[in-house]
């Protein structure tokens, strides 16, 4: 199951690879992965536990890992027990995971290894008043690894099984055998190549992986692979080419409730293919380093046995120009522009279209041959052409006296044009649109003055929703949403022992409709937010610290009463346009704590006081919203202990609400978190 998920994840990653990253970033598929450092962990036995109680929810997780090592073999045994208890539901969920492996090295020439792996996972659900359930899955098989021509080859395979009982009585010993069910099958996986190692000494990085699992003769197979060529030309420029492909075919097994009976079952037969071919040229290192990338990607999913027409294919081409400028001047620039074009097609195989049409068509056979039913036509209405464009630019300038200026600009457009319609009513999809996002961000670091450092920042964003068609009222939704942010970060640090920092921000969101006549007496929403966060630390001695924090936020939400948004009668009686605040709230939070710090432990105790003062405009006045939310007082204790192989940390908070009626309910008013670890 895990490998199927991996295959699905690869499919998803390939599918989204074209979309990921800013347009001024070099594509990630052209980056040769770096071999991760294999840090030597001398611990052979590790025990850790984590427990949390907060507002009627208890969660504990315990983990035991045993990994004895010798020069000839490696063993890893993991035992994880997780318990979750939802107090309100009186339901407990426990998961036991006993995965592990034992591998003997140097069994084959060139360091080949051979071993066994197992992965039993048991999931137990118990409830107070209704029958509970248990599910268990296990893979047990061999693992082999060897190298040929310096290419690593890996093989895994074995038996796979699952069992379940979804009629567990409260007393487990009262269980009946007929309630137990089980399935068995096999799994196998093969992989070759290492994405961090050159293939046969060439600048080529190839990996391939295949996986198959079948239980009760119903299975799924997945194969994926990728090849990356990263070649430096004689001119110093670099040439890149990438091809990635993945295919999965079969029925994925999952835990579900078909027909109301909870059991392991199969998803519909699904064939998913995804591939991407990308080529790029990066000019050699210079003051201005441009690059050019072209990519084609296609993702298709079909459901051969499913009556519901869900087959879909997305094809996208893209061209990407980007550049980076560095020089002896203290200016760095990075910019790029990327344009995608393509289409999304539903029921893209004509035979599939006909078979779906036949399924739905109740007419005579002769008409069936040429007529597509309304159901499949309705699905085809989602066919559309895609056009996307993005540009991103970032400039940073280092100024004298430690000053610095940064500016980024990002624009993204996503356009859809629906192409399919059918007669005689000329039925079509009217969702043709352009969605455009524009973001400006700036940051200015001011010169340091004695012990004071300050940085001002701001952002301005515009989101445009632009439907093209008036049918179904689409274009009447067109609007722009402007967002504003201004802020200041400053800190005062006269010595190593004392520091004070303040962050102030002001934000506003303003919406304006394009077609105001469609929003008469429906004025657009506005909102504002002002916040201040002040923090201070005073290390009185090497062992005593005083910490303080004062957080204050104000936000309001309302509508803009402008003449253009009111009918004639109301507009005439309106004086000047104004912002009508419908809800406003001020949130305060003050925290003070004292910490005792020693080599082996840290103990911090303090208290937080917070309050939400929320009001709504009703009957010509602002009325306080009372939701059993009075002042909240939270005394807390935090501790960290580190002694040789043991470590323990925790936080205990008692929540007191001055207006709540159930302040004495233990589980609802405590937030307790304790975690410990020991290793040998």
Binding site for other proteins (CB under 8 A): 283, 286-290, 321, 323, 335, 337, 339, 389, 391, 411, 413, 415, 434, 436, 438, 464, 466-470, 472-478, 514-515, 517-522, 525, 527, 557, 567, 570, 582-583, 616-620, 625, 627
Nearer residue to other proteins within complex by CB, 416 or 445: 416
Q: Which two tokens stand for residue 238?
A: 């670099």
CB of 465 to other proteins, least distance (A): 8
* Least spacing, CB of residue 20 vs other proteins, in Å: 16
**Is the Cβ of residue 116 or residue 436 nearer to other proteins in the bound state?**
436
Residue 663 C-beta: closest distance to other proteins, Å:
18
> Residue 521 in 3-state DSSP?
coil
DSSP letter at 550 equals E
Q: Closer CB to other proteins, residue 192 or residue 339?
A: 339
Q: Give the Å distances, CA to CA, from 290 to 283, 309, 329, 334.
A: 6, 45, 18, 10
Write phi, then psi, for 383 (nearest 5 degrees): -55, 135
**Sign of the CA dihedral 563, 564, 569, 572?**
positive
Query: Three-class SS of residue 211?
Result: strand
Q: How far is the CB of 616 from other proteins (least distance, A)?
A: 5
Tokens of 522: 């429906």
- Say whether 340 sits in a helix, a strand or coil: strand
590, 606 contact by CB (below 8 A): no
- 38 vs 109: CA distance, rounded Å: 23
Cα angle at 493 between 487 and 494, to 5 degrees?
140
Torsion of CA 6, 9, 15, 18, to 10 degrees: -100
- In degrees and rounded to multiples of 5, residue 7 shows phi and psi of -60, -40
Q: Judged by CB, which is closer to other proteins: 44, or 470?
A: 470
Nearer to other proteins, 476 or 589 (CB): 476
Q: How far is CA 673 from CA 5, 286, 457, 642, 661, in A?
A: 32, 54, 36, 17, 25
Residue where the block lists tokens 């455009």: 436
**Closest distance to other proteins from the beta carbon of 675 (Å):** 20
- Contact (Cβ atoms closer than 8 angstroms) between residue 279 and residue 241: yes
In the complex, the smallest distance separating the C-beta of residue 44 from other proteins, rounded to whole angstroms, is 34
> From CA 11, how far away is CA 482, in angstroms rounded?
36
Q: How many CA atoms lie within 13 A of 514 on its CB side?
A: 15
Strand residues in 233-308 grouped as ranges (E): 238-250, 253-256, 263-266, 270-282, 288-302
User: Which residue, 596 or 618, has its beta carbon nearer to other proteins?
Assistant: 618
- Which residues partner with 653 through β-bridges? 636, 671
For other proteins, the closer CB: 265 or 583: 583
Q: How far is the CB of 617 from other proteins (least distance, A)?
A: 8
- What is d(CA 444, CA 213) in angstroms, rounded to the nearest whole number? 57
Phi/psi of residue 182, nearest 5 degrees:
-155, 155
Residue 200: is it exposed, middle or buried by C-beta count within 10 angstroms (0-12/13-18/19+)?
Answer: exposed
- Closer by beta carbon to other proteins, 280 or else 335: 335
Separation between Cα atoms, residue 536 and residue 136, nearest integer Å: 52
3-state secondary structure of 20: coil
Closer residue to other proteins (CB): 145 or 478: 478
Task: Determine the Cα–Cα distance for residues 534 and 548; give it in Å rounded to an integer.
Answer: 8
Nearest-approach distance from CB 55 to other proteins, in angstroms: 12
Q: For other proteins, give the closer residue by CB, 240 or 561.
A: 561
**Exposure string for 463-494, b = 16+ CB within 10 A, e = fewer:** bbbbbbeeeeebbbbbbbbebebebbbeebee
Mapped onto helix, strand or coil, the DSSP state of residue 308 is: coil
| Residue 367 host element (H or E) | helix 365-370
Minimum CB separation of residue 292 from other proteins in Å reads 9
Classified as helix, coil or strand, 7 is helix
**Least distance to other proteins from the beta carbon of 562, Å?**
15
Query: In the bound complex, what is the minimum distance in angstroms from residue 287's beta carbon to other proteins?
Result: 8
Alpha-carbon span 643 to 455, nearest angstrom: 41
Query: Which residue lies nearer to other proteins by CB, 607 or 612?
Result: 612
Q: What is the smallest separation between the CB atom of 92 and other proteins, expressed in angstroms?
A: 19
Closer to other proteins by CB, 287 or 497: give it. Answer: 287
CA-based Rg of the chain, rounded to a whole angstrom?
A: 32
């Amino acid at each position: 199951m895990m490998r199927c998920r991996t295959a699905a994840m690869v499919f998803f990653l390939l599918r989204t690879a074209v979309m990921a990253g800013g347009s001024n970033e070099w594509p990630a598929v052209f980056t040769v992965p770096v071999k991760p450092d294999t840090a030597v962990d001398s611990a052979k036995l590790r025990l850790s536990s984590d427990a949390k109680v907060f507002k009627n929810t208890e969660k504990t997780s315990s983990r035991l890992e045993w990994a004895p090592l010798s020069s000839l073999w490696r063993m890893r045994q993991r035992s994880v027990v997780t318990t979750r208890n939802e107090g309100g539901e009186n339901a407990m969920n426990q998961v036991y995971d006993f995965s592990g492996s034992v591998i003997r090295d140097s069994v084959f020439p060139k360091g080949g290894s051979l071993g066994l792996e197992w992965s039993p996972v048991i999931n137990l659900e118990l409830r107070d008043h209704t029958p509970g359930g248990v599910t268990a899955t296990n893979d047990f098989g061999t693992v082999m690894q060897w190298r040929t021509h310096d290419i690593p080859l890996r093989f895994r395979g074995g038996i796979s099984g699952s069992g379940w009982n979804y009629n567990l009585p409260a007393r487990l010993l009262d269980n009946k055998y007929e309630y137990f069910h089980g399935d068995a099958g096999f799994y196998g996986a093969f992989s070759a190549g290492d994405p961090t190692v050159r293939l046969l000494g060439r600048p080529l990085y190839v990996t391939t992986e295949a996986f198959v699992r079948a239980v009760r003769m119903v299975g799924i197979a997945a194969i994926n692979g990728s090849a990356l060529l990263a070649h430096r030309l004689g001119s110093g420029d670099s040439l890149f080419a990438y091809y990635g492909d993945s295919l999965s075919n079969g029925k994925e097994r999952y835990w579900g409730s078909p027909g109301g009976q909870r059991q392991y079952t199969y998803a519909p037969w699904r064939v998913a293919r995804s591939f991407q071919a990308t080529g790029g040229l990066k000019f050699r290192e210079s003051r201005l380093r441009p690059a050019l990338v072209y990519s084609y990607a296609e993702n298709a999913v079909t459901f051969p046995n499913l009556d519901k027409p869900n087959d879909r294919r997305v094809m996208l081409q893209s061209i990407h120009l980007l550049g980076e400028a560095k020089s002896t001047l203290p200016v760095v620039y990075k910019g790029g522009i990327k344009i995608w074009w393509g289409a999304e097609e539903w029921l893209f195989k004509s035979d599939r279209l006909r078979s779906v049409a036949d399924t739905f068509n109740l007419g005579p056979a002769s008409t069936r041959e040429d007529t597509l039913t309304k159901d499949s036509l309705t699905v085809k209405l989602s066919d559309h052409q895609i056009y996307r464009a993005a540009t991103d630019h970032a400039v940073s300038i280092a100024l004298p006296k430690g000053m610095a200026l940064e500016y980024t600009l990002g624009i993204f457009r996503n356009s859809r044009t629906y192409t399919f319609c059918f007669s005689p009513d000329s039925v079509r999809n009217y969702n043709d649109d352009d969605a455009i996002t524009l973001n400006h961000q700036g940051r200015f670091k001011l010169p340091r003055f004695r012990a004071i450092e300050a940085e001002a920042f701001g952002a301005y964003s515009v989101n445009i929703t632009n439907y093209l068609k008036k049918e179904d009222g689409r274009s009447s939704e067109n609007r722009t949403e402007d967002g504003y942010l201004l802020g200041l970060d400053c800190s005062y640090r006269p010595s190593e022992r004392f520091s004070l920092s303040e962050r102030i921000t002001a934000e506003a969101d303003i919406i304006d409709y394009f077609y105001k006549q469609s929003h008469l007496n429906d004025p657009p929403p506005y909102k504002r937010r002002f916040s201040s966060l002040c923090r201070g630390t005073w290390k009185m001695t090497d062992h005593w610290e005083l910490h303080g924090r004062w957080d204050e936020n104000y936000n309001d939400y309302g509508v803009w009463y402008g003449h253009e948004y009111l009918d004639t009668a109301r507009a005439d009686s309106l004086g000047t346009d104004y912002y009508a605040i419908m809800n406003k709230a001020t949130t305060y939070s003050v925290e003070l704590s004292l910490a005792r710090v020693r080599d082996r432990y840290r103990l911090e105790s303090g208290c937080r006081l917070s309050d939400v003062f929320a009001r709504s405009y009703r009957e010509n006045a602002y009325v306080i919203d009372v939701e059993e939310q009075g002042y909240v007082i939270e005394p807390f204790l935090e501790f960290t202990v580190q002694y040789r192989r043991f470590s323990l940390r925790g936080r205990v908070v008692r929540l007191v609400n001055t207006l709540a009626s159930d302040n004495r309910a233990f589980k609802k008013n405590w937030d307790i978190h304790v975690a410990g670890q020991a290793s040998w």
